[in-house]
Structure 1
C-alpha cells in the first residue's frame, strides 16, 4: 500500500516537469523550418551552400537542364556550341541536333539573367554597390566562365553574339577589357571554335575574349601577344598535347609537356585547360584528372559533372 502511494506521488511530481521540458536545438530548428520564418530567408540563397569548383562543363547543353545543373554542382565554366542560321543563334553539338526553341538566348542568356538578378538584389542595402556578384552565394567574386564555341562562320556570327550579350552587358555583368585594363564582373565570355581572332583583337572595349591555343603560346608565327585582356583562357586537345590514356605510368616526356604548356600560360597570367580528356574507363579518367591537377592545370574538363564535383 505504501509502495503504491510512493509511485503515485512520484508520477504526479514528474508530470509537470516533463510537460515543461525545454525543446532540444533540433526541435527548435524543425519548428523554425516548418514555420517558413523570414529569419531563414535571404535574397542571394539561390545557390546557398554550393562550393564553386574549377570544373568545365563540356558540351553543357547536353544536360537535361543546361547551365542550372552545372551551377548546382558548383561548376564554374560552361560551354555552348552555337550555330548562326537565318539570323538566330541555335545551340547544339551538330546541326541535326538543333531545334527551333533551343537558342543561345533561351538556354543561357535568359537563365543567367535570372540567376544573377537573384544574386544581385536591388534594395536599400545594395544601392551604393557598383560591382556585381557572380552566381555563387558562397563566393560572389568568382565569375561564371561562358565558352561560346562558334560552329558556323565566325566573322558572320560574332556581331550577332555580341548583340545577344547586350542584356548582360547593359546590367554590368560582363567582364570587360578597356585599353588594356581588365575589369572583372559576374560573367567571363570566351570565344572558341570558329571565333575570329583578328576581330576579337579589334574589340575595345572587349567583353568577348579568345580561347588561346595552349600549345602555341610561344609561336611567333601567330603574331599575337597573349595576355588576360585578350585570352584569360588557353586550351588544347589533351590527346595531341599529352596523349597518356590514364592506364599504366605516364612518361616523363608527357609530364614535361603538361608542365611546359601550363607554365607558358601561367607566365602570361592565363589559365590552362586540356579538352577531350579520356572519359572511360573511370579509373583511367580519374588518373588523368589527378595528374593534370597535380601538374598545374586549372580546369577539369568534364562530361560527368557529379563525378568531377566529388573528385
Structure 2
C-alpha cells in the first residue's frame, strides 16, 4: 500500500515539472515565418473557409456586415438599400441609415478587396482570373441580393451604376443576348422593389431578379436563377412543439413549389423562417434542406455553419 502511494506521488510530481519547451531555433522560425515570402500564400484571405449553402439574412445588421457572413462560409448575402440624394444607403428602415453605411462602403468595396486578393497578379497565369471569394472553392459564386426599399424605378439605375467596379473587373455573372449564361464570382439578384421591367428589358446584363416562387409562369433561370417566398405564407402555422413541425399537407405545398422551380433549373430560398425556438429552427433547416432548397435562410450564420 505504501509503495503504491509513493508511486502515485512520484507520478504526480513528474506531472508538475515544467514541460520542455520547443527548441529556441525552431521557435524563432515559427515566429518569423510571416516575414518570409516562402510562407505567404497569395490567396489566403479566405483560406480554410468552406462555403455553405446559407443566405445571410439582413446581413447589414451584423456587427461587421459582409465579412462575418464570409467568414462563416455563406454563399449568399442580402443588403437592403434606400436611395436618397442619388446615394444608396444600407439599412432596414430610414431611421437606421447613416451617411457612412452605403452599398459602396459595406459591400462593393469589401467585395472588390477580397476578389483582388483571390485573383492576384501572377507570372504563372496567362491572363486575368475570375476566381470567387472562397479559396477552397474558387468556382463558387457569391449571391449578392439587393433589396430595394424605396423608389425602385429610380433606384435601380443607381444600383447598376454602383456595380461598375465589379463589372470593370469582369467579376459579375451575366447573360448575353438573352440566351447565354456566363457564371462569375458574384451574382447580383434584385429583390424587394426591384422593377422587373428594367431587368428583363436588357438582353445583355449582369444582374438578375428574385423570382416569385408562388408563381413562376414566364420566368426562366436566365432571369431568376433563384426564386423565393415567405415560408409562413406557404405553410401557415408551424407546430413548434412537434418533432415534425410541418404536416404532410404543408410538406406537399413546399414540394410542389420546389419541383416547379427545379423543372426550370431555378433554385429555391424560403424567407420568414422561424429563428426560435432553436430546436424548431434547426428542424426546419433539416427539412428544407432535405426537400431540396438551394439556400437556407439564416439570421445566426455561425449556428448555420455548425449545422453543416
Asked if structure 2 preserves the Cα contact closer than 8 Å seen for 1:246 and 1:278, the reply is no
Tell me: CA distance 1:203–1:245, structure 2 relative to 1, closer, same or farther (3 Å): farther
What SS is found at the alignment partner of 1:310?
A: helix
Counterpart of 1:152?
A: 150
The number of residues matched between the two structures is 279
What SS is found at the alignment partner of 1:70?
A: helix
Cα distance in 2 between the residues matched to 1:181 and 1:247 = 48
Query: Post-superposition shift, 1:42?
Result: 1.3
Query: Post-superposition shift, 1:300?
Result: 1.0
Task: Verify: 1:214 aligned to 2:213, yes or no.
Answer: yes
TM-score, reference length from structure 1: 0.86
TM-score, reference length from structure 2: 0.87
Counterpart of 2:253?
A: 257
Cα distance in 2 between the residues matched to 1:65 and 1:126 = 34
Counterpart of 2:18?
A: none
1:237-256 map, 5 Å: 237-243=230-236, 244-248=238-242, 249=244, 250-256=246-252
Query: Post-superposition shift, 1:258?
Result: 1.3
1:225-240 map, 5 Å: 226-240=219-233
Query: Post-superposition shift, 1:204?
Result: 2.4
Cα distance in 1 between the residues matched to 2:187 and 2:212 = 18
Asked if structure 2 preserves the Cα contact closer than 8 Å seen for 1:190 and 1:210, the reply is yes
Root mean square deviation of aligned Cα:
1.6
Counterpart of 1:284?
A: 280
Task: Verify: 1:303 aligned to 2:307, yes or no.
Answer: no
Task: Verify: 1:35 aligned to 2:32, yes or no.
Answer: yes
Between 234-243 and 244-253, report the one with greater CA deviation: 244-253
1:58-137 map, 5 Å: 58-129=57-128, 131-137=129-135
Query: Post-superposition shift, 1:232?
Result: 0.5
Aligned partner of 1:163 among 155, 161, 164: 161
Query: Post-superposition shift, 1:34?
Result: 1.7
Asked if structure 2 preserves the Cα contact closer than 8 Å seen for 1:58 and 1:302, the reply is yes
What SS is found at the alignment partner of 1:56?
A: strand
Q: Deviations over 1:232-259 (max 9, x none)?
A: 0100001011233543132111111111
Task: Verify: 1:50 aligned to 2:49, yes or no.
Answer: yes
Cα distance in 1 between the residues matched to 2:167 and 2:175 = 13
Please say which structure displays the higher CA radius of gyration. 1
Structure 1: tracts of 5 or more residues without a match:
1-22, 219-223
Aligned partner of 2:262 among 258, 261, 266: 266
Asked if structure 2 preserves the Cα contact closer than 8 Å seen for 1:246 and 1:285, the reply is no
What SS is found at the alignment partner of 1:82?
A: strand
Superposed structure 1 runs of 4+ greater than 2 Å apart: 30-33, 37-40, 126-129, 242-247
Tell me: CA distance 1:229–1:32, structure 2 relative to 1, closer, same or farther (3 Å): farther
Task: Verify: 1:293 aligned to 2:289, yes or no.
Answer: yes
What SS is found at the alignment partner of 1:89?
A: strand
What SS is found at the alignment partner of 1:272?
A: strand
Asked if structure 2 preserves the Cα contact closer than 8 Å seen for 1:70 and 1:305, the reply is yes
Q: Deviations over 1:89-137 (max 9, x none)?
A: 00000010000110000000111110000000112123335x4011000
